[in-house]
Amino acid sequence: MMIVNNKGELWYNKICYKCAYGKNGFIKFKKEGDGCTPIGTFHINKLFLRKDRIKTINTKIKTIPIVKNMAWEDNPRKKNYNKLITLPKNSHRERLYRKDHLYDLILVVEYNTKKIIKGKGSAIFIHIAKPKYKPTQGCVVLAKKDFLHLLKKIKRKEKIKIVG
């Protein structure tokens, strides 16, 4: 199990990786747009990746290639809230196919994904960090080299415990 704490650490099997998290810290009762990372234990069972940028990957996690029209619905008023969607051309959802490299690797944190509660928070991912580990809107982020190292180690149906 991965463990994330408020010291900017993600631990897995006695290995510590530097990470960043929500700009407003951690929260037990997350709301859409609060800038917080949700506290709890969540499943991780899929990895989205940019195959045009990362040619080979060594992981046991199910992988899904990111294509240009992929996005994650983050509008609580939409019926597909907190789900993977296909976009029309000029949409403003949480695009997965980006010009920057932040979403070249995305592990989906299964937060609010089974019985989705609108407004409880969406698009909680582990993805690649910005320079200097800039805080996120709620995701956990790692350096690309650490992310690739972690992917080699984690099990097929992994969990993450966010303790704050």
What 3-state class would DSSP assign to 132?
A: helix
The token duo for 127 is 């993805």
CA dihedral 4, 50, 131, 41 (to 10 degrees): -10
Q: Domain 2-162: give its CATH code.
A: 2.40.440
Average pLDDT per run of 10 along the chain, which is 164 residues long?
98 98 98 98 97 95 94 93 86 84 98 96 97 97 98 96 95
Q: Rounded distance, CA 37 to CA 159, Å?
A: 15
Determine the pLDDT at residue 87: 86
Determine the pLDDT at residue 19: 98
The domain limits of the chain are 2-162
Contact status, residue 164 vs residue 39, Cβ threshold 8 Å: yes
pTM of the full structure: 0.95
Determine the pLDDT at residue 92: 62
The DSSP letter of residue 56 is -
Contact status, residue 105 vs residue 154, Cβ threshold 8 Å: no
Determine the pLDDT at residue 94: 83
Contacts of 90 (CB under 8 A, 6+ apart): none
Determine the pLDDT at residue 88: 77
